[in-house]
Amino acid sequence: MQVFVGVHRVPPPALRQFVHGYDGYRLSGFDPGVHAGLPSPYLTVVLSLDRPLTVQACGFDDSYESLVGGLSMSPVALPHDGNQHGIQISMTPMGSRTLLGMPTSELGDLVVELRDVIGSDAIELRERIAAESTWAARFAVCDEVFARRLADANPNADVHHGWRRLVGDGGARVADVADEIGWSRRHLVTKIRTEFGITPKDAVRLGRFTDPTSTCAGT
């Protein structure tokens, strides 16, 4: 028997500039296949509730209990045996700086084990989520752990405003964004590359893959 469950939830207001949304998913009884993780203006955090996730990217084939993937202009392949169960979290670049403790550029387009980034909080997330039986309770665990990590928040408001303008509404012109913030165009380009690891032009391209105001797709 095939089972498909997909549940989406938006985080509470205090977290919304850092986390775009949560997607709980469960698939069982399907044919083996490959899920394509498409480029997006969000970082992807996945917490597996059963078996490790296999990711094929940049010529490597690795497995993860929980992972975080950076901004990438290329899709990644996630082969599966027809059964998947977990939570996918779409995290904004400001969320990377605030909740993961590093700029998006430090992660680049890599996929890494989440515990290598946030340590024991990653272990707590996965263990507590696995112990809950409802999606509401699982999402509440995410809210609690992420809210706790906000205590160390120190995002650069101007550069993240620039990011939102570049990826939203079809992409603003770099010169217009620089004028809004009060920077030169060259300074904005440097700041965007330093914080996010990509050019403003690539930021606009990512925004066209996924509208930051829309509901993100589940795995």
The pTM (predicted TM-score) of the whole model is 0.81
Options 3.40.50.200, 3.90.600.10, 3.10.310.30, 2.60.120.10; CATH of 3-152: 2.60.120.10
Q: Which CATH architecture describes the domain 157-209?
A: Orthogonal Bundle (1.10)
DSSP 8-state assignment for residue 42: S
Nearest to 23 by CA among 92, 100, 90, 96: 90
Q: Is the dihedral of CA 113, 118, 124, 130 positive or negative?
A: negative
Distances 104 to 3, 21, 41, 155, 176 between C-alpha atoms, Å = 35, 18, 11, 12, 23
- How buried is residue 83: exposed, middle or buried, by Cβ count under 10 Å (0-12/13-18/19+)? middle
* pLDDT level of residue 88 (50, 70, 90 thresholds): very high
H helix and E strand count, the chain: 9, 10
Between 78 and 15, where is the model more confident? 15
pLDDT, tens digit, for every residue of 167-203?
987 778 889 999 999 899 999 999 999 999 999 989 9
pLDDT at 44 over 90: yes
pLDDT of 112 over the 90 cut:
yes
Rounded Cα distance between 51 and 195, Å, is 33
Higher pLDDT, 20 or 205: 20
Q: Which parts of 81-184 are beta strand (E)?
A: 84-91, 111-113
The yes-or-no verdict on residue 59 having pLDDT over 70 is: no
- Locate the domains of the chain by residue range: 3-152, 157-209
40 in Cβ contact with 215 (< 8 Å): no
Task: Report whether 19 contacts 99 (CB < 8 A).
Answer: yes
- Average pLDDT of the residues in 117-129: 95
